[in-house]
Amino acid sequence: MRSQSVFRIFLCSAAILLLIALPARGQTPAGGSYPAGPTWRPATLGADTGVTPAAATAPAPAGPSAAPAATSGGNPFLAQPPLVARRTLQVTSGSGTLPNDQGQVWREYDISPYTARVTTTKRPEQAIIDWILRETGYEVWHGEPFGILSATPRTLRVYHTPQMQAVVADIVERFVSGEAETRTFSLRIATIDSPNWRVAAHRALRPIPVQTPGVCAWLLSKEDAAVLLSTLQHRTDYREHSSPNQMINNGQATVITAQRGRPFIRDVNPRPDVLMGYENLPGQIDEGFSLEFQPLLTIDRRSVDAVIKCQVDQVEKLVPVMLEVPTQTLPRQRAKVDVPQISNFRFSERFRWPVNQVLILGLGMVPLPVPVDSTPTLAGIPLPLPSSPPRADLLVIIESRGPLSETPGGAALPGTLPAQAPRQ
């Protein structure tokens, strides 16, 4: 009897010791790592780790191929950051039909007669898309009612209301019409040092609305424009900066630029392996002007729509800054870097005017669009720098000269003047 009591006490003591040695279910063991089994799952799930709830709560694979839990210094929270719950994205296949709750209809327009004529760009159909978006607005294709606008080199596909289809058809017809061939425009970019030229020309100028502050626009007859141009060309401060005759496909854009790179030292980099102990890091700024002109004739060919964009960049001066770059041999050595002081002018608007008239844009006293030398000279002798950066009244004179077949060789039409070489 006594031996049985001793045996029972031994069994109870062994059971108590076993319970103390084993961790409770779901708790962290003394080693600091979680058991690789389905009993542990993170408290929260997060999008930062890219783990979905289903994948995070799935039991770990058993066997020797199962990856051990990642730890960092015995702390599992350093190995895996806290997770945040991710919302579930709802995706359906839809009804299988295009919505037509507002009477939308499908139309396909043959644009190959236009795209076959344009060989100056790889994607001539993009111009049709751009003009449709300008006429209708971008928002009508990205909201209600539901719409589609897509183009290939041969076909323009449109899904929208009948009213919108009528607008699209009018624009497409302006492109594909048999008379929508390459046209010749006189596009002059000129500067005048003083804006007082407007005094003598004021009576002949007929102003039209402009949205950009500080910019003026006028219309003139071709005869009055020829007289005005002749008067301006006799001024000593008049300079032209472009070739006046431009051959442009109807609806396509042409860009006229006159730019040059202005080098400067933007920073220095210490280098013990070179003589001075540092190297200059060069930089470059493109200064000059760029003018983009994109015309589109109306169906009756009596008016022209045009988007005109102009930008002028001028480096007013390079502000020097002296940096300390000491070396063992030259402990007080300094190096110069440049900080550019830049002036910018930006203009973008759309105009419509009759083809038998001339459009003149006065962009105001803007940074000089032609790069000038930072140190002017006279007979090889440096002149003092001006107190302020150079400015000039920038003029853009646009005249339609008809289809290319009517102006062979770019010859001037009656009422126009021949091209004049820019004055230096």
The mean per-residue pLDDT over the stretch 225-251 comes to 90
Instruction: Scan for tokens 């013990």, then name that residue.
Output: 272
Residues in contact with 184: Cβ distance below 8 Å, sequence separation at least 6, in sequence order: 245, 246, 247, 248, 400, 401, 402, 403, 404, 407, 410
Residues in contact with 72: Cβ distance below 8 Å, sequence separation at least 6, in sequence order: 78, 79
Closest CA to 292 of 309, 306, 305, 304: 309
Residue 4's pLDDT is: 62
Confidence of residue 18 (pLDDT cuts 50, 70, 90): low
What is the token pair recorded at 345? 């002018």
Phi, psi of 314 (to 5 degrees): -135, 130
Inter-residue contact 268 to 262 (CB < 8 Å):
no
- DSSP structure string for 347-374: EEEEEEEETTEEEEEEEEEEE-SS---S
Percent of the chain whose predicted confidence (pLDDT) is above 90: 53
Lowest average pLDDT, out of 27-36, 132-141, 209-218, 255-264, goes to 27-36
* Residue range 291-323, pLDDT digits in tens: 999 999 998 889 999 999 999 999 999 999 999
Percent of the chain whose predicted confidence (pLDDT) is above 70: 71
